[in-house]
Amino acid sequence: MASYAITGASRGIGLEFVRQLAANENNTVLAIVRNPESQAISELAASSPQRDVTDPKSILDAASAAAAITGGKLDVLIHNSNAVDVATVGLSPSQIPVDTEATRKSFEPSLYTGVYGSLWATNAFLPLIEKGGQKKIVHISSGMADFGLIRKAGITYGVGYSAAKAAMNVQVAKYAVELAPKGIKVLALSPGWVDTWDMGEKPAEVVQATSGMLSLFRAVEPELKGQIQPEESVRKCLQVIRDLDAESSGMFLSHNGNQTNWF
């Protein structure tokens, strides 16, 4: 039996991780959510504590709750939590005001979930991982943090989000080096370009933004049709996680298991 803890599990990719992992009755799946409004979570997961990875005490409490269920051990931690400032995510770097509060507003949601939250979640669950069988820690990153993709596609928006994911990738590499003597593997994993909209019909502005992104991404992959669904993304991500070993620990990989195909 394998045990998994997934942060940011109430919707989208996180919820799909829970669905696919819970399909195996031999798995123990712990869904860590900020707002436990999802009925699906309560039906699928062994536990779905209301915790916030941007609050150190809250994530420590989540680890304690997980330990009580799993007997003090955990095989795989998947840190999926993510946030952006919607009002400024479309800005290019030169459009961000030279103003402390405006810059914080643009960057902090992504920094708190992607950098601080990933560090706090890792450290909180590390004692459980050390006693687990698989000893794997996976941070969900993004191809938007890949320099090559940014340059080839001409992507200027999502500055705070991309910077936070790049910082997360650096932390992953450092964790991998530090924890290698304990047999712990750490990975930064991009889920691909995923359609996570689950609130009915998409607003016109969302459709327009998606179309604009597709045009940019086709500069890198001309045959790209569009976004993939969470089911495909998570299925491929889980295969990459299964393949994670000491040799690939510390790397930044796509859901396709490489460093080139981010879609």
Q: From 15, 53, 12, select the one nearest 31 (Cα to Cα).
A: 15
Of the candidates 136, 165, 185, 236, the residue annotated as catalytic is 165
- How far is 148 from 127, CA to CA, in rounded Å? 36
Give the strand order in the sheet containing 136-140: 28-32, 3-7, 76-79, 136-140, 185-190, 252-254
Q: Is 249 a catalytic residue?
A: no
Q: In this structure, what token pair is assigned to residue 250?
A: 């510390």
Of the candidates 4, 112, 161, 175, the residue annotated as catalytic is 161
Q: Is 174 a catalytic residue?
A: no
Q: In this structure, what token pair is assigned to residue 208?
A: 């327009």
DSSP state of 237: H
Yes or no: say if 111 and 164 are a contact pair by the CB < 8 Å rule.
yes
Q: What is the DSSP string of 177-214?
A: HHHGGGT-EEEEEE--SB----SSSPPHHHHHHHHHHH
Of the candidates 3, 118, 141, 142, the residue annotated as catalytic is 142
Q: Is 142 a catalytic residue?
A: yes
- How far is 199 from 240, CA to CA, in rounded Å? 29
- Catalytic residues, which ones? 142, 161, 165
